[in-house]
Amino acid sequence: MGNDGGSIPTRRELVKNAARNPNTSELKATQQEAQSHAWTYCPLSNRPLAAPIVSDCAGTLYNKDAVLEQLLPKDDDVPASIIKEKEDVLQGRVKGLRDVVEVKFTISKEDKEEKKICPITSKELGPNTKSVYLVPCGHAFSEVAIREVAGETCVECNELCTPENIITILPVGKEDVAKLTARALKLKEQGLTHSLKKAPGSKKRKKNAEAEAGEKKPVANGGSALDGLSEKTKARLVENGSGNPQSRSGTSTPVANGIKNAATASLTAKVLEEQEERNKRRKLGQNENLKGLFSSGGYSAQAQKSGDFMTRGFSLPKQK
């Protein structure tokens, strides 16, 4: 009769649908779902987006409290996997609050439901509308409205804004992503952050450059680097080989075994002089009550009989 359970199915019977690439409609549906989630939830905390909302140079939206929590030092009990997961989300784009800009949305309430809208066209900002915000003010608009206005100032606050500082929110197109990447690289070369503020290390580099320029600057009018210092400090510098005495011609002659640079020698002299002043103040500021506990002469038990147990001391009785 057959069909008694001993039949073996073939591969053609098991595999009903062959593997294939998703079509255009499926790709759009997946992209729409991803955009809706990115407009609704913070990728760092997985909580709903709520004001204040910030964005990095890539146009990604975060909750500001989640960014602050990520920037603060981590406790020892936080798993390393969670820390690495959040670092992968940021991808090194956010190292401080200067790397984010607070996005200011115009909110419209309808039936107890809040919607982000464009203040110019009143269109709802979200996955169905290409949206942008301006740096540094952070006001958000629809991309169509900004293109039609085509001005160099923000419509909301009249703050200056150049075309390259118009940031696409959650960009999808390759051109928008490439534009934001090129902007981030350009700002990094200029020592600026996403918010157009100076990067933390830029001031230090500027100070070092100014210091180097100051070291190369000669002493004016043939003067010496030790001018205006006390004689004691000058003597210490000369003994240490850091002095820079003048020659008969009035020019500065460097010491062979000391600091040859005039600016460096002057700075060293000032530090030594400040140290001497601190030592003098320390000597003059000794506590008089502390001095009273000590005596330059020997201890006399007979003279201290009237004292208390702290000052009387101990003396051996006389032998008869």
Between CA 227 and CA 266 the distance in angstroms is 9
> Is 261 a residue whose pLDDT tops 80?
no
Residue 180 phi/psi, 5° resolution? -70, -35
CB 196 within 8 A of CB 165: yes
CB 185 within 8 A of CB 174: no
Give 59-115 pLDDT, tens digit per residue.
Answer: 999 999 999 988 888 777 778 888 889 899 999 999 999 999 999 999 988 877 889
- Where along the chain do its domains lie? 27-189, 205-283
Architecture of domain 27-189: 2-Layer Sandwich (3.30)
- Taking the alpha carbons at both ends of the chain, their separation in whole angstroms is 136
Which pLDDT score is estimated for 47? Answer: 93
Query: In the chain, which ranges are continuous DSSP H helix?
Result: 11-14, 24-40, 64-71, 80-90, 143-149, 174-189, 202-216, 231-239, 262-284, 288-292
What tokens appear for 185 in the block?
């690289």
Kindly state the percentage of the chain with pLDDT values over 90.
35
- Least confidently predicted of 2-11, 119-128, 187-196, 305-314: 305-314
Give 180-206 pLDDT, tens digit per residue.
Answer: 999 999 999 999 999 999 988 765 555
Give 139-155 pLDDT, tens digit per residue.
Answer: 999 999 998 887 888 98
Give 154-164 pLDDT, tens digit per residue.
Answer: 988 989 999 99
Give 172-182 pLDDT, tens digit per residue.
Answer: 889 999 999 99
What sign for the dihedral angle of Cα 53, 57, 60, 62? Answer: negative
CB 86 within 8 A of CB 62: no
Between CA 83 and CA 70 the distance in angstroms is 9
- Least confidently predicted of 13-27, 183-197, 299-313: 299-313
Which pLDDT score is estimated for 249? Answer: 41
| 151 exposure class (CB count in 10 Å sphere: 0-12, 13-18, 19+) | exposed
- Band of the pLDDT at 253, cuts 50, 70, 90? very low
Largest Cα separation within the chain, whole Å, is: 136
